[in-house]
Amino acid sequence: MRVDISNLRHLEREIACALMQTSAAASRLSADYLQQLASLMGQNMIQQGPGKRLQRARIHDNGFLKLLAVNGDEWEDDSLNGYRLVLHIWDTSIDAASVENVHNHRWPFWSTSVCGRLGWEHYTVSSESGPDPTHWRFRYASPGSADSYSMISVGPAVLARSFKAAVERGTSIAMECHELHRVQRLGSSPAATIVLQGRPIREETDVFANYDGIDEREEPLKKIAVKLQTCSPAETATLLDSIIHSTP
């Protein structure tokens, strides 16, 4: 399939609008979009134009590949300035974390499932302290263009799960920036979502790691520094191909 760049950009805008309306069309449009991204491999476009998007993939510490498809300043439609279109892929080839951390975001977002099954959980903070904490709270700020990021220790917290569901292909979800959640792949098949990130509303987010007695150490942890893992265009293309073959 030969990719028409103007059509690709038009499709990105259609997906963004469908996501904001939590329309069922978002999943169908996203599947078509992934087909077009993958076809860039055969057009010698990896190093130029939209093909550069395949160079913006990294492995998120929560166990999925995150590919920035459209940055906030790349839209032709001014009404979408500041929004980001992002692809998330879960696959056995990715060195995934055993348990994704509970977290929120700096921005609201809209998501649609393209393939696979995901377990989606929401949480609330029951208490910031107490005799039986369930998690350890950190503050996180976006690394921007840096190749690493840091999380600042805040202290113990008690979280209660308020919602749990299995998300399948075609499901669309909208969430506000403050809502705590966790997502994990269900089963062994690849899973993927397309996410529209809204404009940032705040500077930091909250991350809750499973409690492991961290406050009992002789020198309490104040800061975690983590180096970002990148994913090559070839690896990204392989993952895109696995998603395409998993999409009806």
* pLDDT tens digits, one per residue of 13-67: 999 999 999 888 998 899 888 888 777 655 555 445 555 666 677 887 788 888 8
For residue 91, CA distances in Å to 124, 154, 188, 197 come to: 28, 32, 8, 22
Helices (H), the chain: 5-20, 25-39, 233-244
Minimal CA–CA distance to 151: which of 218, 61, 67, 78?
Answer: 61
pLDDT for residue 216 = 47
DSSP notation for 50-78: GGGGGGSEEEETTTEEEEEEE-TT--SSG
Q: Which residues pair with 81 in a beta bridge?
A: none
**Would you list the domain boundaries of the chain?**
5-244
Cα separation, 236 vs 57, in Å, equals 7
Mean pLDDT in residue range 167-191: 93
pLDDT cut 90: percent of the chain above it: 40
Q: Which residues pair with 140 in a beta bridge?
A: 151, 205
Residue with tokens 């939590």: 22
Cα separation, 233 vs 217, in Å, equals 41
Please state the pTM of the whole predicted model. Answer: 0.86
Cα separation, 247 vs 231, in Å, equals 22
Cα separation, 18 vs 21, in Å, equals 5
- Contact in structure between 20 and 196 (CB atoms under 8 Å): yes
* pLDDT tens digits, one per residue of 207-226: 998 886 655 444 444 555 55
pLDDT for residue 23 = 85
* pLDDT tens digits, one per residue of 78-107: 999 999 999 999 988 775 555 789 999 999
The answer on pLDDT for 234 being more than 90 is no
Highest CATH level, class, for 5-244: mainly beta
pLDDT for residue 192 = 93
Cα separation, 85 vs 71, in Å, equals 7
